[in-house]
Amino acid sequence: MIDLHCHILPGIDDGPGMMMESLSMARQAVADGIHTLVATPHALGGTYPNPPEKVLRETELFRAALRAENINLSVYSGCEVHNCLNMADRIVAGEATFLNPNKNHILVEFPFELVSKEFIQQLSKLLDNGITPVLGHPERNKKTLQDSMILYDLILMGCLVQMNSTSINGGFGPKVLECAKDLLTHRMVHIVGSDAHSAGYRAPVLSQAVTNCAETLENKAEALMMVLGRPQQILDGKKVEVPEPEKPKNSKWFFFK
Ligand SMILES: [Fe+2]
């Protein structure tokens, strides 16, 4: 499997503090059947700017440590962009690390609260520049829990959706789990990533999520596409073909507090 969302580089964001923990995470990933992952520290706005030179340098140090420990895991550089002023211009200008060398896919953290008009305009601008935003864990957004029409429109616009394995495993609670299942059944999830931050609570594992997605979808092949087929297409810089999403009717989420 391929994990496109993983905070595994040591001491660079709110992921592992030390190389020893990064190596533990790598061993967990390999044991779970992950052969490739993209290191995606927080970047651009927010607390951790992490410019591409820094991410690349830290990725190379991590790769050397993996070789020294004989851990067979391929690691690429990426980042998780935080919403900020002029986000699209800054990405186009090369201030953030893409998910592939072709520089046509970037992981963008979906805001936890308000999805502003400005944010949507920034996503649109990225698409206009031939860059596909991969929206990280929208199922954890308070607004999506209430009404996933915004997400549906963003998918129609051309955005991809990455759901966290922890969400479909129930680790963020029953409301996020219900939202994750609803998004899955409405074909509004394209990729599953771990969004791992440590070797403990949020570890780099995907296999349980694949089992749960397959069960929800009653479709193992589609579940595997989320951790193998589509992530590989993104790494290769190819256009990702996705199924037509089904328009959500989630008024039942209006009672979320
Ligand atoms: Fe993340």
**CA 221, 192, 189, 218 torsion: positive or negative?**
positive
For the chain, give the mean pLDDT: 94
**CA 163, 164, 168, 172 torsion: positive or negative?**
negative
Cross-strand pairs, 162:
136, 191
Q: What is the whole-number distance in angstroms between the Cα of residue 80 and the centre of ligand 1?
A: 6
Q: Give DSSP secondary structure letters for 145-168.
A: HH-THHHHHHHHHT-EEEEEHHHH
b/e 146-174 (16+ beta carbons within 10 angstroms → b): bebebbbebbeebbbbbbbbbbbbeebee
Separation between Cα atoms, residue 85 and residue 52, nearest integer Å:
18
pLDDT in tens, 194-239: 999 999 889 999 999 999 999 999 999 999 999 999 999 999 999 9
CB under 5 Å of ion ligand 1: residues: 80, 195
- Cα–Cα nearest to 168, from 217, 225, 115: 217
Q: What topology is assigned to 2-255 in CATH? A: TIM Barrel (3.20.20)
Q: What is the whole-number distance in angstroms between the Cα of residue 202 and the centre of ligand 1?
A: 10
Predicted structure pTM score:
0.94
pLDDT in tens, 39-76: 999 999 878 999 999 999 999 999 999 999 999 999 99
pLDDT tier at 251, thresholds 50, 70, 90? very low
